[in-house]
Amino acid sequence: MRDDEGMADQLGSVTRALETLRLFDGARHSLSVTELAALLGCSTSTAQRTIATLAEQHFLRRDDETRTYRLGASVLHLSRAWRSAASLGSLARPVLERLAHDTGLNTTFAVPDHAHMRVVLSIDGAEGPLRDYPMASELFPAHAGAISKAYYAQLPHDLRARFIGERPMARFTAETKTDPKQLEEDFLDIRARGYCHSRGEYDTNVSALAAPVWMGKEPLGAIALSSLSELVVHPSLVDALLAATGELGRLLTREV
The pLDDT score that the predictor gives to residue 227 is 92
Q: Is the pLDDT of residue 193 over 80?
A: yes
- Rounded mean pLDDT of 4-23? 73
Give the helix, strand, coil percentages of the chain, each rounded to 5. 45, 20, 30
Fold assignment, 83-255? Beta-Lactamase (3.30.450)
Q: Is the pLDDT of residue 90 over 80?
A: yes
Query: In whole angstroms, what is the distance from residue 115 CA to residue 171 CA?
Result: 15
Domain 2-76, CATH among 3.10.620.30, 1.10.10.10, 3.30.450.20, 3.40.430.10: 1.10.10.10
The pLDDT score that the predictor gives to residue 95 is 96
- For the chain, the C-alpha Rg in angstroms (whole number) is 21
- Rounded mean pLDDT of 140-155? 93
Q: Which amino acid is at 215?
A: M
pLDDT in tens, 22-44: 898 767 888 999 999 999 999 99
| Cα 10 to Cα 7, 14, 17, 34, distances in angstroms | 5, 6, 11, 22
Query: In whole angstroms, what is the distance from residue 104 CA to residue 98 CA?
Result: 10
∠ CA(90), CA(93), CA(97), 5° rounding?
Answer: 165
Question: Would you place residue 81 in the very low, low, confident or very high pLDDT band (cuts 50, 70, 90)?
Answer: low
Q: What's the pTM value of the predicted model, to 2 decimals?
A: 0.68
Domain range summary for the chain, segments of one domain joined by +: 2-76, 83-255
Q: Which amino acid is at 165?
A: G
Residue 211 contacts residue 191 (beta carbons within 8 Å): no
Q: Is the pLDDT of residue 6 over 70?
A: no
Query: In whole angstroms, what is the distance from residue 103 CA to residue 247 CA?
Result: 16
Q: Is the pLDDT of residue 4 over 50?
A: no
The pLDDT score that the predictor gives to residue 135 is 72
Which stretch of DSSP H or E encloses residue 225?
strand 218-227
What is the torsion angle, in degrees rounded to the nearest 10, for the CA atoms of residue 154, residue 220, residue 98 and residue 192? -10
Residues 6+ apart with CB under 8 A from 26: 216, 217, 218
The pLDDT score that the predictor gives to residue 192 is 96
